[in-house]
Amino acid sequence: MGDLFNLEPKAAPAGPVECLGMTFPNDEERRKHFLGLLREKLKDPEFRKIEGFPIGSDEDILALSDPPYYTACPNPFIADFIKHFGKPYDPSKPYSREPFATDVSEGKNDPIYNAHSYHTKVPHKAIMRYILHYTEPGDVVLDGFCGTGMTGVAAQACGSPPSDFRSIVEAENAEASMPKWGERKAILCDLSPAATFIANNYNLPIDIGLFEREATRIIKEVETELKWMWETVHSDGRTKGIINFTVWSDVFICPQCSNDVVFFDSAVDEESGKVSSVFPCPHCSTELTKRGLQRRIETHYDKWLGRNIKRSKRVPVLIEYHVGRRSYQKSPDATDLETLRTIEKDIPPHFVPIPELMFRTSEWGDLQRGYHEGITHAHHFYFERTLWALSELENRFENSGVPRLLRLLFTSQLINISKMNRYRPGVSFPYNPMSGTLYVGSQICESNPFTAYRNKIKKFVAAKAQTLVSGAVAISTQSTSFISKQLPPNSIDYIFVDPPFGDNLPYSELSFLWESWLRVHTNTDQEAIISGIQGKGLPEYLSLMQICFSAMHGCLKPGRWMTVEFHNSRNSVWSAIQEALGKAGLVVADVRVLDK
């Protein structure tokens, strides 16, 4: 690996710090000063009317924010950021770039790319190539649909590129003008609080050693306290093992005899994991198919909501556990079932999110795959003991010495250890949620959360060791449609955007679980999407995209470039994007393939 990969990010300085031309005794005083300003701003009713202002209380927004670099609401400091870092437009200085002429292909097996999942993501090294081509060191780059903030990582990485990447880029430009290496500044904007929260953690310096120590300590403490929830009795009847994962199965009703049919027991081959298309009822031997069965619905008292609910019946059918370094499998016994009943009696002492699902209808939002009877609120996506672990971990992470990156570690596994994790036989520690959906299958793998988080620490350390960032990034949570009212005209040197893909992904629904734990939700009024649930078709999508492109164009210096990375298999959606660009006054100069 190159030079950048061997550099450890610097911790926030303990002594005086400079921020936007001001000097503070330490970084905590910097945060205190700007949080005070943001708190006052949040009291202004007009500020809360900004397009895309997220849904959340002042305290929750402040708890997520780290101004002036990042705010979990519209960032009131980005004009100051431009004033401090930007270069005023000077028409006497020539600028000319031909369209970027090199096909770009960057893999997804990069630690930075894989540290935290997201619905769509462009590898930062791919973005670096465009930034190097279209900008100079010190230029300001804007990404109005920033997602996880890879444009910010790319802009900063141009200052300290890995030697192998640098060699490749310089070889590609051997017969043309060489790129000018040097850090660029970035302004990042997204409607989703989950996205900007992830982007913030990728783009600010962190003491990675302190993070690793704190994460390891807290996970070990909580695991020790809640160990009894994941203990199971070994086959010798005496030794206690620790559960790796528990498989839960849907229960169906035989249409012939009306008895329960446990799907895993009747239709699944345990060794291969293959599901039979036709299988016999264990009671009357009638041949059955999953499509022809109804799920067993049970009444359950929801202690979080304080009322009875109807939900699909699921039962534990298989436990994999370890004693020492050796793993074993067993069927749940009476002690295991009693442990589960004991856990259900109490409520964790700390926060558990219980907001109702967005756009909940009989069709279950835009994500209609899967069977979600009884899954109406955020906590329904988790089994009881997983909620206990998450509640304890989240509380201690928040009160640790490095809460920001620890909160990112926390959100990174919220999908993998939810009920969306499908069972895969033969995988030692399976994570198998279906990408781009909130699908809950008929065989759920309830994985040990402590193992999940320990495994993730290693990936975070590897990712942060590859990002030498200075924090020269401003991040805002809002609609891009308002950006031209915050930034001076002719102030941005280059724009790279990866906009929403129409009807491919319902971003706000997919971010629901993350944002439920972060306590700040996407405001969908300005979400550019084709969605029957939101009442937005292609015309509404086109209109919102045109407004956003126009706003970004208004900030761009004359003669400068915008790169739009876009994929949708429907020609009508791509045509809408081109039309929106045209109406925004932008000319499509080149169409190329960016292999994501």
pLDDT along the chain (596 residues), means of 10: 28 74 94 97 97 96 96 97 95 89 63 77 89 96 95 93 83 76 96 96 87 96 98 96 96 97 92 87 96 93 95 96 95 97 94 82 43 84 97 95 89 94 73 79 94 92 75 94 95 93 78 96 89 84 91 95 78 76 75 42
In 95-158, DSSP assigns E strands to: 104-105, 140-143
329 three-class SS: strand
Q: How far apart are CA 393 and CA 390, in angstroms?
A: 5
The continuous run of DSSP H or E covering 279 comes out as strand 279-280
Write b or e for each residue in 250-261: b if 16 or more Cβ atoms lie within 10 A of its Cβ, otherwise e: bbbbbeeeeebb
Query: Looking at residue 430, what is its pLDDT?
Result: 57
Q: Residue 317: in which H helix or E strand, if any?
A: strand 314-323
Q: What is the DSSP string of 189-211?
A: EES-HHHHHHHHHHHS---HHHH
Bridge partners, residue 466, by sequence: none
Distances (CA, A) of 419 to 83, 294, 378, 401: 47, 20, 11, 31
Kindly give the residue spans of alpha helices, DSSP state H, lying in 399-489.
403-412, 449-464, 483-486
Any idea which residue has 């910097």 for tokens? Answer: 30
Contact 187, 493 (CB under 8 A): no
Strands (E), 197-313: 231-233, 240-253, 260-262, 279-280, 287-288, 294-295, 297-302, 307-312
CA distance 467 to 238: 49
- What pLDDT is recorded for position 535? 84
pLDDT at 443: 93
pLDDT of residue 222: 98
pLDDT of amino acid 591 = 53
- pLDDT value of residue 107: 56
* Polymer length of the chain: 596
pLDDT in the model for residue 395:
96
Determine contact, residues 37/67, Cβ cutoff 8 Å. Answer: yes
Cα–Cα distance for residue pair 442/294, rounded to 1 Å: 12
Among left, alpha and beta (phi > 0; psi -120 to 50; other), residue 149 is: left
What pLDDT score was predicted for residue 6?
Answer: 26
The predicted pLDDT at position 386 comes to 98
Work out the angle at residue 149's Cα, subtended by the Cα atoms of residues 464 and 164, and round it to the nearest 5 degrees.
55
Query: Taking the complete model, does pTM exceed 0.85, yes or no?
Result: yes
CA distance 495 to 589: 14
**Looking at residue 172, what is its pLDDT?**
78
